[in-house]
Amino acid sequence: MSLADSDRELVVSELGREPTRAEAALFENLWSEHCAYRSSRPLLSAFDSEGEQVVVGPGDDAAVVALPSPDTDGDRAGGRADDETYITMGIESHNHPSYVDPFDGAATGVGGIVRDTLSMGAYPIALADSLYFGEFDDEHSKYLFEGVVEGISHYGNCIGVPTVAGSVDFHSDYEGNPLVNVACVGLTNEERLVTAEAQEPGNKLVLVGNGTGRDGLGGASFASEDLAEDAETEDRPAVQVGDPYAEKLLIEANEVLVDEDLIESARDLGAAGLGGASSEMVAKADLGAHIELERVHQREPNMNALEILLAESQERMCYEVEPDNVDRVREIAERFDLGCSVIGEVTDGNYVCTFDGESVVDVDAYFLGEGAPMNDLSTEDPAEPETDLPDVDLEDAFETVVSSPNTASKRWVYRQYDHEVGVRTSVGPGDDAAIIAVREAEQGLALSSGGAPNWTDVAPYEGARAVALENATNIAAKGATPLAAVDCLNGGNPEKPDVYGGFTGIVDGLAEMCETLSTPVVGGNVSLYNDSVAGPIPPTPTLAMVGSKDGYDAPPLAVEPAGDLLLVGDLGLETGSPRLGGSEYLARFDGSDAFPELPTDPAAVVETLAAVANDDATLAVHDVSHGGLAVALAEMVTEDAGLEVAIPSDQPAGALFHEQPGRALVQTESPESVREAFDGVAPVVELGSATDDGRLTVDAGRTLTADAAEIRDRRGTIERELE
């Protein structure tokens, strides 16, 4: 990739001369889709990013949100307290690198989002990863899947940050371009808060961390192109190589630097390396910098100015430091065996880089960071799916859907992650949402992260609305109230009108539902040009959402041996027959249909479900989503507790397998109180009761039965295939 002719003309007009080689490369990377969001920024104003709890919104390395304060009775009062605890939220994609080198591509995605957390003065406390691959029975997809999971687990486990939530989806359209989206939550407070905006001319710019090498050169521009057929070999130099042990030292050193109030501003070295981080810091404040590139500590010999400027070597941070504090910063870096270079200072002029006394970059920082023109692209609305329902034996359908890789247990994945390190994990992976104990605020933080490519492929707008509602329902099922979200918006080549139409749909749908739920979208990431010789990916919004609750306990997903089972929501009969569009059932049996209608008042459903989940009479709660009611029922059965349920519908396949979001199964000792709570909010259907025999029995016109061992075997598809 090189600087486009139209962009070069703008640069020449601004500079009054031809750009140097280093300047041209810097503009190429910082004006790429990956950095400048040239195709997506015009759409992002749809998101509501403000709210009483929002401290720092979009535009920084990570967002900052204040946890709501409980009142004296222990109930969540909302609002801001005098002694506030802040959380940070960020999400990042490492899609192209993970195709070229799945282990290092995924690992460095974890490292990058953790350093985004550090740059806000926060300590990372939880990770969530949402992964998307081609069909599970494809050998290359399995190779990518195994490599990505190994990379995430290796890096996260080594740095001691628990991976507590996430999702895994398989879809044929990811075979040429997998997606790796990683979110991180950090912990800080008002006194420790740092931002990426430079503060004062005369302050020093200090580079701390690993030495700079030649890995990751051109990573930002690489991420802004379609993947070529030979990408796995030709683009390997654009993939960074991670060192989690250096990252762990950087985490702890950053903590000391923040504790001692030595940092004025900070930025992680990610896309476009030193050039990207340092120019963006000063551009935010409409300032400049003078950087002497030869001062950068390096791990490879004879590096030239362009390599030093743009290499995306990992485990590096750029700090703004007052001159009197530089020696102390260097002492702390040395204590943690980290490299440290004073590379320049903040100025009130241009962004200037020299190399051995020769100027190689001299540009206005704001123009460099914000001057890229936005793209005006045409769109095509997606076609409405036709109704073409398969005729499948109910028992065969049940076994196929329950054992599908998309709905099967992901235990093979999350058992490789250390999800208990840090002793904050109250509810770990495998549940609807994780719960992290924030003892500093005496609150539990619920975290849900994921998308639904089957949904957004069929109906981008409605599917994205459903993704937001699904994550909120996951959080409510644990008794928490949604607080804020970050998104990773993944799409194909936006220059194709049908692709851009689908991408526009997921942006608008996600924004609309999050606003309806009063859940501000406080930050995110956009990844376009996820296109390959195999074609574009489905429009894929990943949403990482957090919610808060008093205390750290939550109702389990699994049922107890006694109690009534209710379905909050309906069986899909409001339109005459359940809509199966986007369901795993149709994906497995090659059918098509319209997407289900969503609840008329989703905010009330989520609020009421959270209250019911916290009721003393509630024994278990489980969100109904991928795979529909059939999979949700199977997931609730254990060796010690079973379920006997009846499906009051003359269309059992539709009732069992449609995937309308905003529904939940509630096991309770007081069915009447659940009905009263949802009166006027959502229908409540009595399905049956729990047993002590560890068997699922479903009367759906014909009787379906399976004991816990059979269900476990059916849901063990991934584990069985990979071991």
The residue among 336, 331, 94 whose CA lies nearest residue 210 is: 336
Cβ contacts of residue 219 below 8 Å, gap of 6+?
A: 97, 238, 239, 240, 271, 272, 312
Question: Is the Cβ–Cβ distance between 398 and 711 less than 8 Å?
Answer: no
| 254 annotated among ligand-binding-site residues | no
Dihedral angle sign, alpha carbons of residues 403, 563, 476, 599: positive
Q: Which of 34, 290, 622, 658 is catalytic?
A: 34
- In what side-by-side order are the strands of the sheet with 521-527? 425-427, 434-438, 443-450, 540-550, 481-490, 521-527
**Could you tell me which of 287, 323, 232, 259 has the C-alpha nearest to residue 122?**
259
Q: What is the largest CA-CA distance in the chain?
A: 83
Strands (E) located in 369-503 = 425-427, 434-438, 443-450, 481-490
Q: 93: annotated binding-site residue?
A: yes
Q: Is 527 annotated as a binding residue?
A: yes
Strand runs labelled E in 216-283: 265-268
92 annotated among ligand-binding-site residues: yes
Buried-exposed string 669-694: b where 16+ CB fall within 10 A, e elsewhere: ebbeebeebbeebbbbbebbbbbebb
Which of these is catalytic: 94, 171, 419, 622?
94
For residue 34, indicate whether it is catalytic. Answer: yes
Residue type for position 599: P
Confirm or deny that 440 is annotated as ligand binding: no
Task: Tell me: is residue 115 an annotated ligand-binding position.
Answer: yes
Q: Is 639 annotated as a binding residue?
A: no
Distance CA 118, CA 419 (A): 20
Share of the chain residues as helix, strand and coil, in percent rounded to the nearest 5: 35, 25, 40
Which residue, chain included where needed, has tokens 């920024």?
Answer: 41
Alpha-carbon span 207 to 575, nearest angstrom: 61
713 is in an annotated binding site: no
Q: Residue 132: which residues within 8 A CB-CB, separation 6 or more?
A: 168, 169, 170, 171, 174, 178, 179, 180, 181, 451, 453, 490, 537, 540
Cα radius of gyration rounded to whole Å, the chain: 26
Half-sphere exposure of 379 (CA within 13 A, CB side): 15
The residue with tokens 């100015």 is 305
Residue 376, CA distances (Å) to 247, 368, 568 in order: 40, 20, 44
- Residue 667 known to bind ligand: no
DSSP state string for 120-143: TT-EEEEEEEEEEES-TTSHHHHH
Is 424 among the annotated ligand-binding positions?
Answer: no
Instruction: Give the amino acid at 614.
Output: N
Q: How crowded is the C-beta side of 188, counted as CA atoms within 13 Å?
A: 28
Spatial contact of 400 and 409, defined as CB atoms under 8 Å apart: no
| Residue 622 annotated to the active site | no
Annotation-wise, does 487 bind a ligand? Answer: yes
Helical (H) or strand (E) element with 148: helix 139-159
Side-chain half-sphere CA neighbours of 528 within 13 A: 24
Cβ neighbours, 10 Å, residue 463: 30
313 annotated ligand binder? yes
Quote the CA–CA distance of 415 and 410 in Å, as a whole number.
Answer: 9
**b/e per residue 298-329 (b: at least 16 CB within 10 A):** beeeebebbbbbbbbbbbbbbbbbbeebbeeb
Is 702 flagged in the annotation as binding?
no
Identity of the amino acid at 410:
K
Residue owning tokens 């104003």: 45
User: In whole angstroms, what separates CA 680 from the centre of its chain?
Assistant: 34
Point out the annotated binding site for ATP: 37, 487, 524
Question: Hey, which residues are catalytic here?
Answer: 34, 94
Give binding residues as ranges: 37, 92-96, 115-116, 240, 268, 312-314, 487, 524-525, 527
The annotation places the binding site for Mg(2+) at 92, 116, 268, 525
